[in-house]
Amino acid sequence: MRVHIVSDVHGRAAELSDIGNGADVVVCLGDLLLYLDYEDPTKGAFAEIFGPEVTAENIRLRLAKRFDEARELVTDAWFKRVERTGEDDRFALIEQIADRQYAEIFEALPDDAVFTFGNVDLPHVAQKHIKPGQRFFDAEVVELDGKRFGFVSGGLVSPYRTPNEAPVEDFDRRVQQVVRQAQELGGLDVLCAHIPPSIPEITFDVVAKRFEVGSKSLVAAIEELQPTFNVFGHVHQPMYPRYQLGRTQCLNVGHFRSRRTPFVLDL
């Protein structure tokens, strides 16, 4: 069984149409939207709203971990935009841009893809663009070509305040739902999540020079279930893309926006 997996698409719709070539199953682990492009301040929703100069400064502050200053910059930028354009419904504007991005992404995503959302996604905006054969999973175990896959969507609360973050209690509850279902079914082959388990070697981003938020409950689930694989994204440039936890290989499937090709998993 050949599984093609992508994560952190971040607006890279064009290459999505080819990710199913040669695959038995296609899995997407979320972060479909491009809000802020750290490599190109002219791209993404933020740049579309505020322009490249403000975007570049926001990126500089965030990379320096000066989050309060970055939030002040964004607040001031919104105020100036409202004064200039009269548009004060910021959420409607962001959702309008997200709606356009999702239309392109789900059109390009293979018709039979299974997916979950990441921490920068807006699931309520995406819903109308999901094609009939595309299936979303969260907090559940499903059988795909005879193998059991467990899915947990979204991210945990972080200093970046991305839109699809959950409190630890909520995220842990959904992980436990996967654990209980897997136990009832007799085990799990692949545990899929957008974020990684909370293990320093796989949560540290060597370019951003920071630890991303990982999940302790995912660690506990892996130790209890010992699936063959745990796959995730979220950390764009990990210190280690692979980590062995007991019998489980924890695999970062890569940053699709820059990688442009799927991660191939043979089961």
Domain edges within the chain: 2-32+110-266
Residue type, 63: L
Residue 86 has pLDDT above 70, yes or no: no
pLDDT at 222: 98
| pLDDT mean across residues, the chain | 94
Architecture of domain 2-32+110-266: 4-Layer Sandwich (3.60)
Say if CB 192 and CB 116 are below 8 A apart.
yes
Query: C-alpha angle with apex 209: 67 to 39, nearest 5 degrees?
Result: 75
Asked whether residue 90 carries a pLDDT value surpassing 90, the answer given is no
**Structure pTM?**
0.93
Q: Evaluate if residue 160 carries a pLDDT over 70.
A: yes
Per-residue pLDDT tens digits for 17-74: 999 999 999 999 999 999 999 889 999 999 999 999 999 999 999 888 898 999 999 9
How does pLDDT run across 185-223, given as a tens digit for each residue?
A: 999 999 999 999 999 999 999 988 889 999 999 999 999
Task: Identify any residues that bridge with 244 across adjacent strands, giving them in sequence order.
Answer: 249
End-to-end CA distance of the chain: 5
